[in-house]
Amino acid sequence: MTINMKHLLFSISLFFLSFGSFAQSKFDSFSYRKSNDTCQRVIADLDTFFVKYDTLGNISNHLIKTITDSVYSSLDSTWSYRTYRTVDFCEGDLIALVAKPQFPDNDNQYHQSMNNCIYYWDFGDGDADSIPYNNLVGKIWTKPKAYELKLTVLDTNLIYENGTGCISENNINTIIRITQNPIKSVKAPVEICSGTPFMLNVGSDTNSTIIIDSIKREESITGLFDSLIFIPDGPYCPSLYLETSIFIDDFFPDKTFDSINDLRSVCINMEHSFVGDLSIELYCPNGQKTILKHFNHTGGSNMGIPGYGNSGCEMSPTNLPGTGWTYCYSNQYLDSARGVISGNMPSPIDSSNTINHSKYYQTPVQNATSAATGFETPDLNGFSTLIGCPMNGEWKLRISDYWGNDNGFLFWWKLDFKRINTWDYQSVLDNVVVEGANNYNLSNDTVVITPIIDSSGLIRYNVSVIDDFGCVWDTAAYLNVAQSPIINLGSDSSSCAPFSLSLNCGNPDAVSYLWLPNGDTTQSIIASSPQTLDSSISYIAQVTNYNGSIYCTSSDTITLFVNSTPLSPTNLNIEEQHNLFKINWQSNAQSFELYRNDTLIAITPEQEYIDSNLVHGENYCYEVKAFNGICESDISNEVCEVFLDINTIETNNFNAYLYPNPTSNKTILRVEGLNENANVRIYDITGRLIKTLELNTDQKELEIDVQNFAKGIYNIRISNSTLNTTKKLIVNR
């Protein structure tokens, strides 16, 4: 199969990616002979990136990470540190790995090339592949966990000279880490009112809208039996013992029990009266066993809280289970170690703490035949009787009751094997993306959603949960939206004298109305403005409706202004400055309209204006009108002046024009005959300077961005020591 990855950052062609047959036997049986006298070194290595094909068919490049982990050993309370590289991706992804061997001695005796190498890959899951003369390999891992990736590179340059070529001997120190969908559940639709913000939370807390699993990968192997079983009472039952099984299949096929530390603990949740009657044994898949407790027929203490009834061979209404306590057996977790469990301990016998791995019990001497030879003597090598057992297969727990008149039940039991590596990892939440109207991210795990005011019914929001591996996990959340009242009291209103206004908040079917500040409870009111000039009052309408399950309230506000009529501005003055007029006046009004030659040129709250759109020798007459809200003064006295201060140096050869004009996002200023660098200043209609740009003599065009300009008319003034000209620009929206 050929995969052409033409869309990747690197042009890579993958030829003959084999996913069905892996040459494990070829890999295992290859005979490596060293010929150090003639070989130039070859160092196995990976490129800095890998290629990912996700389940949607998207292809992308990703960097291989370098990580330093700190590992704490609870056995000897020490920390160790390890630096390694990781290939991080999502469950179901197809991964293409790129080998990039290094040749530090290249060309000393002969030339080395990656094209002359055979690549032996071990993917850590029992699969392997050998690829001659192609440094690319493709692989899908079926189970999300950590795997050690191994690569051995054979340089074939000397294969005819020494019979084998030259082989790499280093570890590439690379871990495959796979994350899986963390989404556990989504809460049922929440009923809210339209227009009301809803906080969608994603987290492991049960109060979250979307509950996710942190999915911390601790690369150990455990097995669990979880079912309530009666322990036969004594030798007269059809079976003397209870036997239950856990099936393990997570180890490599040929993995065996090689060390007493391979089994970290056996935890049993049970209750039983008169513990001295019991023996407890663990059997591995080939029948070898370890004894957790010998039968010694001594000691009447209880394990857990036995139930009612004390005889029989099965559970019955007169022989019911009590409360199981957890008893763990370990020769590694020795914090507050309890020794061998015994019926002579205080009753009920204390349970183990599985949270901090304390108060665990130890195995007795395995071949003991009496108290004197070790029935209750701890032996930390007790699990040695399991050495040689296959790790995969059926593990059995056998609990035998050798004397009658007892009550006992098994609730569950668990095996915990040692870590198979130290590559614990955890993919955590990175971000949440919600599709739908009116939402924004408050934090990386919280999105605020506000259903629009005129919406109702069951509304779906598509949610993408993104982890720090870059994996995107999709789900959906729903809001059951009840429509809130829609109120529109209109725009604020003003007058130059006290007035009244009829206000109606609509929604005739609402269950209640409330008007503030006066407390009216009707659908409509007559609102009165203040009686004092230059003052205001705000009216707030609150309306509540009910859909049979939820009350929804909305509000709207309108403000009534009463303004005084201002006096006409005084002391209107023209101050002639270089290439412009500065017009100023005096008034206590809120805003002003400035007229030039009877034409409105500016609306401004300031009491001065810069007029630069002037022509040499022209006569200009100015008038000002004052406003308080809608209340306007008489127009001021007129002042006039002839503009004579424009530099008259020859500029006949200069031309400038704008295109497009009008515009909505940008315009181009094109100039001809510019002999000196010039400033380009942009003024709005009020004379306020908006932007300053520079135009150089070698420029024929200047792009002006007006995307953030308000709709209106702008003056673009081009000036230097010999030039002063103004162009008008219209910005539309």
Q: Which homologous superfamily does the CATH classification assign to the domain defined by 655-731? A: Macroglobulin (MG2) domain (2.60.40.1930)
Lookup: tokens for 705: 């961005």
**Beta strands of 505-607 (E only): which ranges?**
512-516, 524-528, 535-546, 551-562, 570-577, 580-586, 591-596, 599-604
Q: Are strands 210-212 and 198-203 parallel, antiparallel or unpaired?
A: parallel
Of 179 and 650, the one with more pLDDT: 179
Q: Look at the block and give the residue holding tokens 């309108």.
A: 558
Residue 71: pLDDT band (50, 70, 90) is: low
Lookup: tokens for 108: 């000393």
Note whether 473 and 465 are within 8 A (CB): yes
Q: Do domains 38-179 and 182-216+425-484 have the same CATH topology?
A: yes
Phi (first) and psi of residue 384, to 5 degrees = -65, -20
Taking phi over 0 as left and psi of -120 to 50 as alpha, with beta for the rest, 75 belongs to: alpha
What pLDDT score was predicted for residue 675? 87
Go through 214-228 and write b for each residue having 16 or more CB atoms within 10 A of its CB, e for each that does not: ebebebebebebeee
Round to whole Å and give the CA distance between 386 and 664.
82
Cα-to-chain-centroid distance, residue 87: 19
Taking residues 593-612, what's their average pLDDT? 95
Q: Return the closest-CA partner of residue 151 out of 184, 132, 173.
A: 173
The CATH code that applies to domain 182-216+425-484 is: 2.60.40.10
Average the pLDDT over each of 176-185, 275-284, 398-407, 602-611 and give the range with the smallest value. Answer: 398-407
Class of domain 570-643: mainly beta
Lookup: tokens for 548: 């049979």
Taking residues 608-622, what's their average pLDDT? 91
Domain boundaries defined on the chain? 38-179, 182-216+425-484, 220-418, 493-562, 570-643, 655-731
What pLDDT score was predicted for residue 201? 96
Phi (first) and psi of residue 196, to 5 degrees = -100, 125
Q: Return the closest-CA partner of residue 503 out of 544, 484, 492.
A: 492
Condensed to tens digits (0 to 9), the pLDDT of residues 350-396 reads 999 998 899 999 999 999 999 999 999 999 999 999 999 999 999 99
Looking at the domain 38-179, which fold is it? Immunoglobulin-like (2.60.40)
The answer to whether residue 11 scores a pLDDT higher than 70 is: no
Condensed to tens digits (0 to 9), the pLDDT of residues 295-329 reads 988 888 999 999 876 667 888 877 889 999 999 99
The CATH code that applies to domain 220-418 is: 2.60.120
Of 34 and 509, the one with more pLDDT: 509
Phi (first) and psi of residue 676, to 5 degrees = -150, 140
Whether residue 660 has a cis bond before it, omega within 30° of 0: yes
Round to whole Å and give the CA distance between 44 and 646.
78
**Beta strands of 420-534 (E only): which ranges?**
425-426, 429-435, 439-443, 446-449, 457-467, 472-482, 493-495, 500-504, 512-516, 524-528
Helix (H, G, I), strand (E, B) or coil at 508: coil
